[in-house]
């Protein structure tokens, strides 16, 4: 009989028990609790959405009157009341074809494929974060919010300075569900 996969930390075990696809869902839940970002009826776009735990939570929160769209390079297994697309999130024109209207909220927990070289991985994270922010500037409605994960490192302060120049409000926070050894931080932007 093959061994059954048993998640190795409390967040992964909890996600498996509660039917979520990944432990990262608790990061979004914590951010939502702190900042009240997701409401019923919203249109939410998740960039870098695979495997889909943030989509699952967003769909629960926006309800039947809301709309949740996920975009990733990887195909995402179907989720009730969620639209998913395979596309490169750095291709803003393609994203605007998928989502021609403005959205209320953009969420992104994406991370680059890691090389193991911390500076390179952090630079790639900033590059992806810049793509998310650029997309948000194009399709986020006035008053909307963008929440994204960024890996802290040498380019982080410059990235935050750029955000502060272009956004009404910028908040930086960490979450308890992040792994202890992680250098990830969450940035919330208000348009």
169-173 and 82-86 beta bridge pairing = unpaired
Alpha-carbon Rg for the chain, nearest whole angstrom, is 16
Dist CA 15 CA 2 (whole Å): 22
Catalytic residue (one of 3, 34, 97, 149): 149
- DSSP label at residue 47: E
> What phi and psi values does residue 169 have, to the nearest 5 degrees?
-145, 140
Place of tokens 């930086």: 172
Residue 149 appears among annotated catalytic residues:
yes
Neighbouring C-alpha atoms within 13 Å toward the C-beta of 188: 18
Q: 3-class SS at 94?
A: helix
Show which residues are catalytic: 149
């Amino acid at each position: 009989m093959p061994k059954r996969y048993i998640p190795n930390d409390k967040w992964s075990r909890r996600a498996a028990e509660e039917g979520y696809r990944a432990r990262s869902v608790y990061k979004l839940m914590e951010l939502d609790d702190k900042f009240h970002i997701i409401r019923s009826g919203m249109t939410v776009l998740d960039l870098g959405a695979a495997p889909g735990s943030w989509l699952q939570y967003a769909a629960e929160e926006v309800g039947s009157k809301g709309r949740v769209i996920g975009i990733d390079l990887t195909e995402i297994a179907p989720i009730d009341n969620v639209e998913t697309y395979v596309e490169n999130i750095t291709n803003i024109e393609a994203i605007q074809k998928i989502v021609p209207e403005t959205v209320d909220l953009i969420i992104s927990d994406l991370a680059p494929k890691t090389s193991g070289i911390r500076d390179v991985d952090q630079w790639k994270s900033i590059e992806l974060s810049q793509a998310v922010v650029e997309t948000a500037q194009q399709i986020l409605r006035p008053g909307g919010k963008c929440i994204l994960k960024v890996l802290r490192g040498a380019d982080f302060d410059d990235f935050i300075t750029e955000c502060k120049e272009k956004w009404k409000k910028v908040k930086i926070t960490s979450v308890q569900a992040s792994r202890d050894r992680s250098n990830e931080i969450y940035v919330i932007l208000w348009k």
